[in-house]
Amino acid sequence: MADDYIDVNGARLWYEISGEGEPVLQIHGAGFGHFNFVPVTPLLSQEFRCIDYDQRGYGKSEKPEQHYDLEVWADDAVGLLDALGIGKAHVHGTSMGGMVATVMAGKYPDRIQSVVINCAAAKLGFSGRLVFKNWIDLIKLEGVGSRILAELISWQCLSKAYMETSEGQAGVDTIQQILRDSNEPHVMIAACEAMNAMDNREWVTKITVPAIVVGGDEDVMTPWDQGPEGAGQQWIADHLPEGETAVIKGSNHSTIFDNSAEHARVVGEFFRRHAGAG
């Protein structure tokens, strides 16, 4: 296992490599940094070389004062592969990381063996944009470590059944700590603004590599249907070359947390079917 820093496109990024096998680049969401993959990295790293990292502006990585958007983070993802000497990798993106992975797959198809787009969207409808407007308002009022924000994200991310368990209820404390430790207010606000401004539909239509949309059937943050003005998970699947989907029953937005074993099984099986990364 490596735990180190590397220079990528002018910023110093923290990364960690677990396991051996074909490389899997794991791209985290807007509020969680590399902690997003803590429940599934131990499972996937039994077979794959998992690359977890904090994106520019997050966690242990450098946080330059600059413009942030999905394409900046997608360019960094490819830059990280370059810096690590990896020609092609499987890509595992969750939430905002799924949106970054969409841009990456559309812009750099020669660098991707296969891509998992988890709990994401191509374009948010008005109700979807309200989610992240609420986040912005709470960050401005109370900061990224806000208890109210942690509680809001908990019910938006975790399934009702999981939240009834002691582990699920303790997750509120965990989420609050992760939000506080992984984020700078201006970067998290920029991420929310980038998602609200996003229109990834053209990037989706450019994806030619094997791709799958993975999401929970209870997802309230990025539902399969974003409404008539949006493009949700089902829209993405309908516009991929093969339109492959995996609906994880009884899961909300964060299938990684509330159904870790099933998420890892689905993702691992997909990567195995599309082996061959160098």
Whichever domain contains 59, its CATH number is 3.40.50.1820
Q: Is residue 194 a part of any domain in this protein? A: yes
pLDDT digits (tens, 9 = 90+) for 232-265: 999 999 999 887 999 999 999 999 999 999 999 9
The boundaries of the domain holding residue 137 are 2-273
Residue 169 lies in a domain: yes
Q: Residue with structure tokens 């937005």?
A: 253
Q: Is residue 256 part of a domain?
A: yes
- Which pTM does this prediction carry? 0.96
What does the block give as tokens for 256?
Answer: 């990684």
Residue 171 pLDDT class (50, 70, 90 cuts): confident
In a domain, 278, yes or no: no
**Which whole number is the average pLDDT over 77-105?**
98
CA 5, 10, 13: angle at the middle one, nearest 5? 25
The residue-averaged pLDDT of 38-42 equals: 97
Residue labelled with tokens 């399969």: 224
Residue 12 has pLDDT above 90, yes or no: yes
The DSSP H or E segment spanning 181 is helix 166-182
- In sequence order, the 6+-apart residues with CB closer than 8 A to the CB of 265 are none
pLDDT of residue 1: 53
- What's the mean per-residue pLDDT of the chain? 95
The DSSP symbol for 192 reads H
The Cα 275–Cα 105 span in angstroms is 17
Task: Inform me whether the pLDDT recorded for 214 exceeds 70.
Answer: yes
In a domain, 110, yes or no: yes
Question: What is the mean pLDDT of the segment spanning 191-200?
Answer: 97
pLDDT at position 3 over 70: no
Mean pLDDT across 186-204: 97
CA-based nearest residue to 30, from 244, 198, 172: 198
Q: To the nearest 10°, the Cα dihedral for 6, 12, 18, 23?
A: -70
Distance CA 58, CA 137 (A): 20
The SS3 assignment for 42 reads: helix
- Is residue 182 within 8 A of residue 54, CB to CB? The reply is yes
Over residues 61-70, the pLDDT tens digits come to 999 999 999 9
Task: Find tokens 């209820």 and name the residue.
Answer: 169
Number of domains in the chain: 1
Q: Which whole number is the average pLDDT over 126-142? A: 97
Q: Is residue 200 part of a domain?
A: yes
Q: Give domain status of residue 133, yes or no.
A: yes
> Taking Cα atoms as reference points, which of 81, 92, 39, 77 lies closest to residue 269?
92
Measured over the CA atoms of residue 185, residue 188, residue 191 and residue 195, the dihedral's sign is negative
Smallest Cα–Cα separation from 112: which of 140, 132, 87, 137? Answer: 87
Residues whose CB is less than 8 angstroms from the CB of residue 47 and which lie 6 or more positions away in sequence, other chains included: 19, 21, 268, 272
Q: What is the pLDDT, as a whole number, of residue 189?
A: 96
Calculate mean pLDDT across residues 82-88: 97
Answer whether residue 181 is part of any domain: yes
* Average pLDDT estimate for 139-147: 96
Dihedral sign (CA 195, 196, 197, 200) = positive
Q: What kind and span of H or E run contains 214?
A: strand 211-216
Amino acid, single-letter form, for residue 157: C
Task: Check whether 80 has a pLDDT greater than 80.
Answer: yes
